Structure 1
Amino acid sequence: MDKQKELILEGKLPKVMWHLAWPAVVAMVLYGLNNFLDGIFVGHLISNTALAAVGIAYPLAQFAQGFGTLIGTGIGSAISIWIGRKDTVKLEQSMGTVNYLTLLFSIVLTLPCYVFAEELVYMMGGRGEILTLGVEYFRATILGSFFWIHGLALNMIIRAEGRMKTAAWMIAIGLLVDLGLKPIFIDTLGWGVAGAAWATNISMMIYTLLGVWYYASGKASFRTKFWSLQRKTAIIKETLSLGMPGFIMMVMIVIQNIVVFNALAKYGNEADITFFTAVNRFYILLNTPLWGLMRALQPVTGMNYGAKQYMRSIQAYRLFSLVGLAILLPFWLFVMVYPSGVLAVMIPHTEFLAHQLFDFRIYMSVLLVLPFVFMAMVWFPAIEDAKPATIISLLRQVVFYIPIMLLVPGIMGISSIYWASAAIDWIIFALILYAVSKSVTKLKLKNTSSR
């Protein structure tokens, strides 16, 4: 038995968690820093208007991440289960399917988004100079969509094998390239917001090539035909089924941002857009350790579920959720106590108003329950029960978020965006606890019947 697989299936869970989680957390924090650093470089080297433009355009670029997540989470969850079941046939066919889906989604995404970039950024709430700069940033970003999709998918699959350290150093190399190129492209060469996008595209290309090298050179823990395009209907269906919750979350985040930025443009001003961009980027940055824990939880849950060790799958969810809470707690305390100092990192030379700092604290208040929500979103597909994650994702955005954000800001002002978001996430937390408890009961029954 492969040592990594043996550890996941037989090792003590705290040891398994530590072995897999710390490189995964580091990897995802590094990945999340890309988005955060865009804000810092653009805000400091160009202007607050440019920061607002990037803030409006960036959610559109997340469609590429959404497709990468769909492939990576879907195939990744399936691969973890197939490794547990020793299904060598599907493992061998998996990479050809990844290549096929990446090529398909890249073409479907890139062409229409580039042609209709101005209309899309306008739809996000971009007007005037914000619209002009937003289109420039988005068009440059979308040209790199193939590398965003393929790089993210391959890295997520590497993590699904349990090779967290390998995935982490690949992300670290990409980030270092991004860090080196951003100031050169933005300031030295004078490319402005497009320079920020091209720096990221090049870093994602290198990130993708490292993933290609890993699988093409036979370093994976399973045999696969990497240099192939395979349209295996059964694998595609399983991929889409298991990856759909993550994809829906990404798409809904884009729709959520469309609604929020339009409300900010309609009822607020440029300063409000800039402020929300900064707040949201800090919020996303603080979420990145949870993304790492999610990726580490996926192979632990999937392999143990595939091996019919259902109780270990349950215990893994609980352990990873509590560790996520422990990681976030000190950072949460810091941003709650020193909000103005935190925000000044991205919006320099600004005196923040009391109501803005209050809005920031309200928005951040929900952070401590997110570990339980995020872990559930990857745990459900890993136990072949993606339906609760899909339903809750749709409930959050379609039933709660979009209607509330369309109505409330016009009645109660811009501040309602922050407290309504927090209130919705508290409701989602309650729904997640209910859904998890039902799935735990089912797994316990399966565990009893399998003895």
Structure 2
Amino acid sequence: MQETSQEKYRQLQAAPIGKLLLQYSIPAIINMAVVSLYNLIDSIFIGNGVGALAISGLAVTFPIMNCIIAFNTLIGIGGTTLTSISLGRGQYEKATDILHNVVILGIVISFLTGWIIFLNLDVILYFFGASKSILPYAREYIVIMLFANPITFLFLSLNNLLRGNGFPRKSLESTLMTVGLNLILTPIFIFVLRLGIKGASISTVLSQIVGLLWVVRLFCLKFNKVHFQRKYFKFNFQLSGEIMKLGTPPFILNLCTASITIALINRMVFYGGDFAVGSYGIVSRIYMLFSMVIIGLSIGMQPIIGYNFGAGLTERVDKAMNTGVTIAFAFMFSMFLLCEIAADPIIRLFSNEIALKDIAITGLRVCAWTFPVMSMQTTITNFFQSIGKPKTCIILSFIRQIVFLIPLIFLLPEIFGLGLDGVWLSIPLADFIACILTVAVYMRYKRQQELTIKMI
């Protein structure tokens, strides 16, 4: 970390917004996209090295991973948001205290969640839509991930805190190192050692151990204003409450995502069987890759918006927001066109199983319609989290996932007799409705802000 922490904070307040977005968002985008790209390549390895049913087994584990990530974001993203706001206000001691409480909370929550899921694993997997054919694949993959949950939890949380403390490049380096090692180990474990789908999870865990050691080392460097100190390793109830309050929006969003995934998989099984589940697994990986770019952009914007909001620099907050939304929409519209034009060759990368391929191509082309509106909805929702308004963020996330999408998943296939096509169509339709509402809420916030400034 060549630049001092104080220089980083001065840049957040004074440097041009465009330059800051490049500095913070590009590493965060690469960070998120690389992780998602690994997951996508992992599915390609599994599909070609183990089989089409293994992809279906992997898809059934998605809700469990969503739940694990939900608890991780409760602490990691909450801690990052609070850190950015605290540093904007010059509260360096509080930022240090946040770091230590994130570690304590992470250890406790990761052990509890991993153990509870493991004790009820078969019941959970059957509930999520696993059949007897794909249960062994799902179980093999997820058991190892559950035992390694504390490692995953701490690595992701501390990596987020690196960005919140003004070091996005170091966060990117740790991610690239972890994913790069993972990409080397996965084909070795699957194709050379013939460990099947289990090999994919083993390589993930080994890579995250290396990543965690790297991040911990960075937070041990004493010349940084925020670093590990023995006297701060004590649980602070009030501070932990603040962390979880700000982390609640992404926590609820990921829990909602898990609920949606469960509903989708169950409807896929009902209308299309195991191969429909596998096709959903493929489409969701592709969807996740593109959406992670937007989430990465939002994460990169977070310290910029959070710091300037804390410092009372409203114009800089608005400029960062407007620029971010424009970039997000342009990118996702391009990805929409790509998926409509090249759906067939994209799906063939995963499997040549005809039954699975045909369903996946249809699903990808339908779901691509959600890309442009999702970019706006995600960016605006994360804006409210960045300025410390978790309730607004929670409501917007909840409405999209629960109020609109889940009813549509069940209504469209039945009422209009669309079957499996109706399940796919429910995704873009829910996003279109939610996007309109999200934009309306943001515009209302801006009008209230303008009235407040005039009164002053």
Does TM, normalized by the shorter one, top 0.5?
A: yes
* Stretch deviating more after TM superposition (303-312 or 205-214): 205-214
- Aligned with 2:25 (options 21, 27, 38): 21
Provide the residue aligned with 1:166 in structure 2. Answer: 170
Provide the residue aligned with 1:416 in structure 2. Answer: 422
- One-letter code aligned to 1:430: I
Question: Which whole-Å CA distance do the structure 2 matches of 1:225 and 1:431 have between them?
Answer: 45
Measured against aligned partners, the alpha-carbon deviations of 1:281-317 in whole angstroms (never above 9, x if no partner) come to 1111111211211111100000000101122112211
Provide the residue aligned with 1:433 in structure 2. Answer: 439
Measured against aligned partners, the alpha-carbon deviations of 1:23-50 in whole angstroms (never above 9, x if no partner) come to 2211111111222122111001110000
- One-letter code aligned to 2:405: Y
CA contact (8 A) 2:96 2:232 kept: no
| Secondary structure of residue in 2 paired with 1:216 | coil
The Cα of 1:391 is off from its aligned counterpart by: 0.7
Report runs of 4+ in structure 1 exceeding 6 Å deviation. Answer: 351-355
Provide the residue aligned with 1:335 in structure 2. Answer: 339
* Stretch deviating more after TM superposition (399-408 or 319-328): 399-408
The Cα of 1:122 is off from its aligned counterpart by: 0.6
**TM-score of the pair, normalised by structure 1:** 0.94
CA contact (8 A) 2:276 2:359 kept: no
* Stretch deviating more after TM superposition (98-107 or 324-333): 324-333
Where do residues 120-139 of structure 1 align in structure 2 (5 Å cutoff)?
120-139=124-143
Provide the residue aligned with 2:406 in structure 1. Answer: 402
Question: Which whole-Å CA distance do the structure 2 matches of 1:254 and 1:102 have between them?
Answer: 20
CA contact (8 A) 2:68 2:113 kept: yes
Structure 1 residues without counterparts, runs of 5 or longer:
none
CA contact (8 A) 1:67 1:105 kept: yes
Is the counterpart of residue 271 in structure 1 residue 275 in structure 2? yes
Provide the residue aligned with 1:318 in structure 2. Answer: 322
Tell me how large the CA RMSD over aligned residues is.
2.0
Question: Which whole-Å CA distance do the structure 2 matches of 1:337 and 1:217 have between them?
Answer: 49
| Secondary structure of residue in 2 paired with 1:218 | coil
Provide the residue aligned with 1:115 in structure 2. Answer: 119
Where do residues 34-53 of structure 1 align in structure 2 (5 Å cutoff)?
34-53=38-57
The Cα of 1:407 is off from its aligned counterpart by: 3.9
CA contact (8 A) 2:36 2:285 kept: no
Q: How many residues align?
A: 450
Provide the residue aligned with 2:351 in structure 1. Answer: 347
Question: Which whole-Å CA distance do the structure 2 matches of 1:383 and 1:345 have between them?
Answer: 41
Provide the residue aligned with 1:204 in structure 2. Answer: 208
Structure 1's 228 and 85: CA in aligned 2 closer, same or farther, altered over 3 A? closer
Measured against aligned partners, the alpha-carbon deviations of 1:330-384 in whole angstroms (never above 9, x if no partner) come to 3322211111011111123548887764442221111012222112232112212
* Stretch deviating more after TM superposition (391-400 or 424-433): 391-400
- One-letter code aligned to 2:372: L
Question: Which whole-Å CA distance do the structure 2 matches of 1:394 and 1:345 have between them?
Answer: 34
The Cα of 1:16 is off from its aligned counterpart by: 1.3
| Secondary structure of residue in 1 paired with 2:219 | helix
| Secondary structure of residue in 1 paired with 2:298 | helix
- Aligned with 2:149 (options 130, 145, 148): 145
CA contact (8 A) 1:50 1:193 kept: yes
Where do residues 259-298 of structure 1 align in structure 2 (5 Å cutoff)?
259-298=263-302
Structure 1's 79 and 445: CA in aligned 2 closer, same or farther, altered over 3 A? farther
| Secondary structure of residue in 2 paired with 1:2 | helix
CA contact (8 A) 1:178 1:199 kept: yes
Provide the residue aligned with 2:382 in structure 1. Answer: 378
- One-letter code aligned to 1:263: R
| Secondary structure of residue in 1 paired with 2:213 | helix
Provide the residue aligned with 1:387 in structure 2. Answer: 391
The Cα of 1:245 is off from its aligned counterpart by: 0.7
- Aligned with 2:217 (options 205, 213, 216): 213
Question: Which whole-Å CA distance do the structure 2 matches of 1:156 and 1:226 have between them?
Answer: 21
Question: Which whole-Å CA distance do the structure 2 matches of 1:187 and 1:222 have between them?
Answer: 43
CA contact (8 A) 2:384 2:392 kept: yes
- One-letter code aligned to 2:422: S
Structure 1's 351 and 118: CA in aligned 2 closer, same or farther, altered over 3 A? closer
- One-letter code aligned to 1:326: A
* Stretch deviating more after TM superposition (349-358 or 337-346): 349-358
* Stretch deviating more after TM superposition (12-21 or 435-444): 435-444
Provide the residue aligned with 1:188 in structure 2. Answer: 192
Structure 1's 220 and 431: CA in aligned 2 closer, same or farther, altered over 3 A? farther
Structure 1's 118 and 77: CA in aligned 2 closer, same or farther, altered over 3 A? same
Q: Percent identity?
A: 22
The Cα of 1:149 is off from its aligned counterpart by: 1.2
CA contact (8 A) 1:99 1:228 kept: no
